[in-house]
Amino acid sequence: MTTVATKHWTLLEDGRVRCDICPRECKLRDGQRGMCFVRANEGGEIVLTTYGRSSGFCVDPIEKKPLNHFLPGSPVLSFGTAGCNLACKFCQNWDISKSREMDRLMDEASPEAIADAAERTRSRSVAFTYNDPTIFHEYAIDTADACRERGIHAVAVTAGYVKPAAREEFYAHMDAANIDLKGFREEFYHQLSAAHLEPVLDTLRYLKHETDVWFEITNLVIPGHNDSDTELDEMTGWIVSELGPDVPVHFSAFHPDYKMKDVPHTPRSTLTRARRIALGNGVRYAYTGNVLDGEGGSTYCHACGTRLIGRVGYDLTEWRLDGQGRCEACGEPCAGVFEAEPGTWGGRRQPVRIGAQSR
Ligand code: SF4
């Protein structure tokens, strides 16, 4: 286990140390770990205990993050560590995010080794995903820097539950992000994620108005919990009024997992309904996710309706953008980061072994 010093913390008058990475503000005595389990008070300062350790590496399609408007069709080297700063009862990745077994099989990988692997696998980006990079802030930043020095982009997949100073530092090193907006009700965040809505909305506003980071939003639609017309209408209305019409929104299907095994899968019709509500509110790029849906997975020109990028699953089936990312039919720009030609990675998932394995 590799432990490194960190700087986002405050020594309190009672001798405890407050972690200032996320709004949870864990106040820790010497030897205690935070709620995320990977940041700890060691000797009167907060350290990160998972620097250089990963739960595994895989080359994925960028669409799987999901990002549909950032170098479509390109491969992204993806990894995570362990732990999480939220406590979602519906977690879809709980074997990693809830892991307190840091001595289970883990890849050891320095930022440089990850950049080497990204280059070797011809990945266009590296993604901090599987669990939330907010909690492995220093490792993610150093890895982003090592990759960006080689022209490889850095992508964060996160719940956006982070305090302002850490947020500012983190996103100065990122090129793209997918922010998980779990619902649009404080009660939902409080009861099902043990968190709060407002800091996530702040992150979205921050990204839009104070950075050049390309970002998209994912909303996991859970039957009976965040899928009402009213909530979807309010959420997508807020997105358009606060962030503008160009931020893509992915409505993703829930599968019963972790502490919510009694809730059914999200029907495809619910995702289609959510997508229609979003489009009706002026969201230009709304998608269904985690289901095979050619229409809901494809990108359309908001001006003339031409299908710009056809998708079946993670495979691109059509490309009607010109070299400047404009609609071939009417010339309207499509929001996003595009190159003249789409990538050809397809739906493959390729595990990658990087460093020494330890148990
Ligand atoms: S990052 Fe971890 S230790 Fe720090 S405040 Fe959040 S949950 Fe607590």
Q: pLDDT band at 105, cuts 50/70/90?
A: very low
Alpha helices (runs of H) in the chain, residue ranges in sequence order: 94-97, 111-120, 137-148, 164-171, 186-193, 198-210, 229-238, 268-280, 294-297
CA gap 204, 317 in Å, rounded: 31
Angle, vertex CA 254, rays to CA 251 and CA 255, nearest 5 = 155
The closest-lying atom of ligand 1 relative to the alpha carbon of residue 35 is: 7
Closest residue by Cα to atom 4, ligand 1, is 19
Distances (CA, A) of 119 to 110, 145, 242: 14, 14, 37
pTM for the full predicted model: 0.96
Residue 84 CA to ligand 1 center (angstroms) comes to: 9
Residue 136 CA to ligand 1 center (angstroms) comes to: 10
Tokens 């069709």: give the residue: 73
Closest residue by Cα to atom 5, ligand 1, is 25
CA gap 12, 230 in Å, rounded: 43
Tokens of 252: 């993703």
Closest residue by Cα to atom 2, ligand 1, is 36
Candidate from 25, 85, 162, 200 with most ligand 1 atoms within 8 A of CB, to mutate: 85
Residue 40 CA to ligand 1 center (angstroms) comes to: 9
Residues 277-323 pLDDT 10s = 999 999 999 999 999 999 999 999 999 999 999 999 999 999 999 99
pLDDT confidence of residue 2: 83
Candidate from 18, 26, 42, 167 with most ligand 1 atoms within 8 A of CB, to mutate: 26
* Pocket (CB within 6 angstroms of ligand 1): 19, 21-22, 24-26, 34-36, 39, 85, 135
Residue 22 CA to ligand 1 center (angstroms) comes to: 6
Residues 267-283 pLDDT 10s = 999 999 999 999 999 99
Residue 231 CA to ligand 1 center (angstroms) comes to: 29
pLDDT confidence of residue 104: 53
Strand order in the sheet with 17-19: 9-11, 17-19, 27-28
The closest-lying atom of ligand 1 relative to the alpha carbon of residue 83 is: 2
Q: pLDDT band at 157, cuts 50/70/90?
A: very high
Distances (CA, A) of 62 to 67, 185, 243, 284: 6, 29, 23, 20
Closest residue by Cα to atom 3, ligand 1, is 34
Residue 32 CA to ligand 1 center (angstroms) comes to: 11
Residue 7 CA to ligand 1 center (angstroms) comes to: 13
Q: How many CB atoms lie within 10 A of CB 233?
A: 16
CA gap 327, 127 in Å, rounded: 28
pLDDT confidence of residue 299: 98
Amino acid at 54: S
Residues belonging to the chain: 359
pLDDT confidence of residue 101: 55
Distances (CA, A) of 35 to 32, 86, 87: 10, 8, 9
Average pLDDT, the chain: 94
Q: pLDDT band at 176, cuts 50/70/90?
A: very high
Candidate from 3, 32, 33, 39 with most ligand 1 atoms within 8 A of CB, to mutate: 39
The closest-lying atom of ligand 1 relative to the alpha carbon of residue 8 is: 4
Mean pLDDT to the nearest integer, 111-132: 96
Give percent helix, percent strand, percent coil of the chain, each to the nearest 5.
25, 25, 50
CA gap 309, 330 in Å, rounded: 15
Cβ–Cβ under 8 Å, residues 207 and 181: no
Angle between helices 164-171 and 198-210 (to 10 degrees): 40
Question: Is pLDDT at 211 greater than 70 in this prediction?
Answer: yes
The closest-lying atom of ligand 1 relative to the alpha carbon of residue 24 is: 5
3-state secondary structure (DSSP) of residue 53:
strand
CA gap 28, 12 in Å, rounded: 10
Question: Is pLDDT at 214 greater than 90 in this prediction?
Answer: yes
Closest to 242 measured CA to CA, from 176, 184, 166: 184
Q: pLDDT band at 359, cuts 50/70/90?
A: very low
Residues 234-280 pLDDT 10s = 999 999 999 999 999 999 999 888 788 899 999 999 999 999 999 99
Tokens 């990475």: give the residue: 21
Q: For the chain, how long is the longest CA-to-CA vector?
A: 66
User: What are 215's strand-pairing partners?
Assistant: 177
pLDDT confidence of residue 347: 94
Question: Is pLDDT at 332 greater than 80 in this prediction?
Answer: yes
Around 177, how many Cα atoms within 13 Å sit in the side-chain half-sphere? 26
Strand order in the sheet with 153-158: 286-289, 249-253, 214-221, 176-180, 153-158, 125-128, 75-79, 57-61, 350-352
